[in-house]
């Protein structure tokens, strides 16, 4: 058996184990985001949104926030999945099972990222399904829609992995989502168009990577965006490359994993 | 389909440790240039007091610890330069429980095999085989956290066997395990060794090492203080102390050249004597004094006595 086939078996093992974990604790991994997003749709989309009327491109407020909320669910769940799963493995020392095996580092990283992406996309589909109870949507650009959710999920899976590697206690994996991820998400154009902001807030908003993900996805679904879609993909691909390289470097050096 | 292809030398020693050094970030020098060789098929004891460097050495061999200098070769494959190839040859049973307690033993074993590139069908067959051999099959589908301490230790042995390693490293595998389970574990590991797997064992139960191992290294303060065959090491023991249970200890003890006889209590004597000294003269002298010996045993395990002596000698050298 070649090393390539062996690596494929190892990769499949990690992804399978992650999916089993997601399904084993589905009440923690799949249901809470569905409930949270239903509340967002009811409160912001229906109750408040009905008083706002149409927004950018003639879409209702409910239609406008659906892509942002779906993307928000995807990135927070991708991030949460990998940070808790990998840190849990570190905490229980089960990560040693992988570290003493002949698996290359890229297989470990890809396996965990794939598992996190699966959860992110599963939650995304669930939230999108719930959204269809409240409004109707027609996907304007399916390929862009899929590519943007995939890249968004990968970026935050990689970021969650880096967080888990550095984390020394469970509090450490809650710090980044609370103090960085949530503010960036809320300020990333989920609920509003940055065209509604004056300067310098519009310029400041453009530093936020989540803005590009939300808008790329919104462009895919609705055909409208605050940023150039090409730039959005450049930014997302750059983040994927940088975070993947960083994650692999951490594994190579054994930061937080090997003495 | 076969598992990962292996490229190693079957004629090379199972393990060559060459001037291995490790200094941790806090400045602790855990290994100060350790060198040793383990031959294929050996059952090798690596002994040392707590903090001597055993776990650091095992950590480097299994790539959980980065060496500060030196290298190790497993069947000729460098742990430093060909890590992935070297890891294919090793099975590790660590000191601490290190599996996900919410997973099932069967899944833990099958996943472990997967990490080594072993296809799921073969992995499932092996998991069944080793879980049965280690008497865990009836718990295979329970959550691992439901297992007893001894079962968890046996599960780690089953897991380490999933890649059918050529070198099995056991780091205090019987710590806290009752005698019956310990014996069944040794029976299993002896069988694995008899079938050709080289075994390296660290343990604090020295009678285990004495019974099972053919060769031994004693490590203390990050250096090897003894590395020889078990027979040669035990032959170095020139003085032995026996505990004699007697019907009654007389007021005056017999005086025998070469034997230091001490009264422990009303029914117990201790006799310290050279290993070359015969026991007949001791019994004859005691009989002449009207003492009947009902039973006799070594005061301490022979290896334990040597171990303590070697470690103490090492400490004296460090102090000097």
Would you write out chain A's pLDDT as a tens digit for each of its 259 residues? 678 899 999 999 999 999 999 999 999 999 998 899 889 888 887 888 778 878 777 888 888 888 888 988 999 999 999 999 999 999 999 999 999 999 999 999 999 999 999 999 999 999 999 988 888 888 889 999 999 999 999 999 999 999 999 999 998 998 888 888 888 888 888 888 887 877 888 888 888 888 998 899 899 988 988 889 999 999 999 999 999 999 999 999 999 888 8
| Of residues B210 and B111, more confidently modeled | B111
Structure confidence at residue B6 (pLDDT): 60
Spatial separation of the C-alpha atoms in residues B103 and B141, rounded to whole Å? 9
- Provide, as residue numbers in chain B, all residues whose Cβ is less than 8 Å from the Cβ of A12: 114
Angle, in degrees to the nearest 10, between helices A61-91 and A142-166: 30
- Provide, as residue numbers in chain A, all residues whose Cβ is less than 8 Å from the Cβ of B100: 88-89, 92, 94
The per-residue pLDDT of chain B, averaged, comes to: 87
Can you tell me which residue has the tokens 């292809």? B5
pLDDT of B1 strictly over 60: no
Question: Which pair of structure tokens corresponds to residue A63?
Answer: 């239609």
Structure confidence at residue B318 (pLDDT): 60
Query: Which of B103, B115, B120 to probe the A interface (max A CBs under 10 A)?
Result: B115
Spatial separation of the C-alpha atoms in residues B126 and B111, rounded to whole Å? 12
pLDDT of B4 strictly over 70: no
A165 in contact with chain B, both atoms CB, cutoff 8 A: no
C-alpha distances in Å from residue B115, one per residue of B56, B77, B218, B307, B319: 23, 20, 33, 38, 47
Give the lowest-confidence range in A244-258, B51-65, B226-240: B226-240
Query: Which of A13, A106, A110 to probe the B interface (max B CBs under 10 A)?
Result: A13
| Of residues A145 and B306, more confidently modeled | A145
pLDDT of B300 strictly over 70: no
Average pLDDT of the segment spanning B262-290: 85
Is-contact A146 A140, C-beta < 8 A? no
Confidence of residue B34 (pLDDT cuts 50, 70, 90): very high
**What sign for the dihedral angle of Cα A158, A160, A162, A164?**
negative
Is-contact A133 A218, C-beta < 8 A? no
- Provide, as residue numbers in chain A, all residues whose Cβ is less than 8 Å from the Cβ of B3: 1, 6
**Percent of chain B predicted with pLDDT > 90:** 51
Confidence of residue B315 (pLDDT cuts 50, 70, 90): low
In this structure, chain A runs to a length of 259
Spatial separation of the C-alpha atoms in residues A7 and A15, rounded to whole Å? 12
Confidence of residue B301 (pLDDT cuts 50, 70, 90): low
Is-contact A98 A110, C-beta < 8 A? no
Average pLDDT of the segment spanning B118-133: 95
C-alpha distances in Å from residue A250, one per residue of A16, A96, A174: 24, 15, 20
Q: Which residues of A53-64 are buried (b: 16+ CB within 10 A; e: fewer)?
A: eebbeebbbbbb
Helix (H) or strand (E) holding A114: helix A105-131
CB A3 to CB B63 under 8 A? no
CB B100 to CB A259 under 8 A? no
Average pLDDT of the segment spanning B123-152: 94
Structure confidence at residue B62 (pLDDT): 93
CB B94 to CB A6 under 8 A? no
Spatial separation of the C-alpha atoms in residues A44 and A41, rounded to whole Å? 6
- Interface A:B, Cβ pairs < 8 A: 99
Q: Rounded to a whole number, what is the largest CA-CA distance in chain A?
A: 64
Helix (H) or strand (E) holding A98: helix A95-99
CB B87 to CB A100 under 8 A? yes
Q: What are the φ and ψ backbone dihedral angles of A15, each rounded to 5 degrees?
A: -60, -45
Spatial separation of the C-alpha atoms in residues B15 and B90, rounded to whole Å? 10
Spatial separation of the C-alpha atoms in residues A222 and B216, rounded to whole Å? 72
Structure confidence at residue A190 (pLDDT): 83
A12 in contact with chain B, both atoms CB, cutoff 8 A: yes
Average pLDDT of the segment spanning B44-49: 89
A28 in contact with chain B, both atoms CB, cutoff 8 A: no
Give the chain B residue whose CA is nearest to the CA of A257.
B64
CB B98 to CB A3 under 8 A? no
CB A102 to CB B4 under 8 A? yes
Q: How far is B96 from chain A (nearest CA, A)?
A: 9
CB A1 to CB B4 under 8 A? yes
Query: Which of A100, A110, A256 to probe the B interface (max B CBs under 10 A)?
Result: A100
Spatial separation of the C-alpha atoms in residues B73 and A184, rounded to whole Å? 50
Structure confidence at residue B182 (pLDDT): 83
Average pLDDT of the segment spanning B133-153: 93
Is-contact A112 A157, C-beta < 8 A? yes
Spatial separation of the C-alpha atoms in residues B62 and B66, rounded to whole Å? 10
Structure confidence at residue B140 (pLDDT): 94
Indicate the pTM of the whole model. 0.84
Report the residue from A93, A102, A104 with minimal CB separation from B116: A102
Report the residue from B65, B90, B118 with minimal CB separation from A259: B65
pLDDT of B236 strictly over 80: no
User: Which pLDDT tens digit goes with each residue over B147-184?
Assistant: 988 899 999 999 999 999 999 999 988 877 788 888 88
- Provide, as residue numbers in chain B, all residues whose Cβ is less than 8 Å from the Cβ of A9: 114, 117-120
**How, if at all, do strands B239-246 and B293-298 pair?**
antiparallel
CB A259 to CB B24 under 8 A? yes
């Amino acid at each position: 058996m070649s090393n390539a086939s062996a690596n494929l078996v190892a990769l499949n093992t990690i992804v399978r184990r992650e999916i089993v974990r997601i399904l084993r604790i589905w009440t923690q991994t799949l249901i809470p985001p569905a409930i949270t997003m239903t509340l967002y749709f009811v409160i912001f989309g229906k109750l408040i949104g009905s008083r706002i009327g149409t927004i950018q491109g003639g879409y209702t407020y409910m239609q406008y926030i659906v892509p942002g909320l779906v993307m928000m669910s995807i990135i927070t769940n991708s991030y949460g999945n990998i940070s808790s799963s990998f840190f849990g493995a570190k905490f229980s020392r089960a990560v040693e099972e992988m570290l003493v095996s002949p698996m290359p580092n890229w297989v470990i990283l890809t396996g965990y990222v794939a598992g996190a992406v699966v959860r992110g996309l599963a939650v995304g589909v669930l939230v999108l399904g719930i959204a269809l109870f409240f409004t109707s949507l027609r996907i304007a650009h399916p390929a862009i829609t899929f590519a943007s959710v995939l890249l968004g999920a990968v970026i935050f899976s990689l970021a969650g992995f880096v967080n888990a590697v550095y984390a020394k206690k469970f509090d450490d994996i809650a710090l980044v989502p609370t103090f960085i991820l949530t503010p960036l998400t809320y300020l990333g154009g989920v609920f509003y168009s940055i065209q509604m902001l004056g300067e310098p807030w519009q310029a400041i908003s453009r530093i936020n990577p989540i803005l590009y993900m939300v808008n790329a996805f919104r462009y895919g679904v609705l055909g409208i965006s605050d940023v150039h879609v090409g730039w959005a993909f450049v930014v997302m691909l750059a983040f994927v490359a940088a975070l993947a390289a960083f994650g692999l470097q951490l594994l190579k050096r054994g930061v937080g994993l090997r003495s | 389909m076969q598992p990962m292809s292996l490229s190693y030398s079957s004629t090379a020693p199972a393990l060559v440790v060459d001037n291995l050094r490790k200094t941790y970030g806090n400045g602790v020098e855990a290994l100060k240039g350790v060198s040793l060789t383990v031959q294929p098929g050996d059952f090798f004891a690596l002994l040392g007091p707590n903090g001597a460097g055993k776990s650091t050495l095992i950590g480097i061999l299994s790539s959980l610890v980065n060496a500060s200098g030196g290298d190790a070769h497993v069947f000729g494959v460098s742990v430093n330069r060909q890590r992935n190839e070297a890891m294919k040859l090793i099975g590790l049973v660590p000191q601490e429980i290190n599996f996900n307690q919410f997973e099932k033993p069967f899944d833990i074993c099958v996943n472990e095999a997967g990490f080594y590139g072993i296809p799921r069908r073969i992995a499932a067959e092996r998991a069944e085989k080793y879980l049965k051999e280690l008497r865990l099959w009836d718990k295979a589908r329970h959550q691992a956290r439901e297992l007893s301490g001894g079962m968890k230790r046996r599960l780690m042995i089953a897991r380490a066997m999933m890649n059918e390693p050529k070198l099995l490293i056991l780091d205090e595998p019987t710590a806290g395990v009752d005698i019956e389970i310990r014996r069944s574990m040794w029976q299993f590991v002896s069988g694995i060794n008899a079938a050709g797997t080289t075994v390296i064992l660290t343990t604090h139960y020295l009678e285990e090492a004495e019974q099972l191992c053919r060769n031994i290294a004693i490590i203390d303060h990050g250096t090897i203080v003894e590395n020889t065959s078990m027979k040669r090491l035990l032959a170095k023991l020139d003085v032995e102390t026996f505990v004699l249970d007697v019907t009654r200890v007389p007021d005056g003890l017999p005086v025998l050249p070469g034997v230091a006889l001490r009264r422990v209590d009303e029914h117990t004597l201790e006799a310290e004597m050279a290993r070359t000294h015969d026991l007949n003269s001791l019994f004859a002298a005691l009989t002449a004094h009207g003492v009947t010996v009902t039973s006799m045993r070594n005061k301490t395990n022979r290896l334990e006595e040597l171990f303590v002596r070697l470690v103490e000698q090492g400490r004296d050298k460090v102090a000097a």
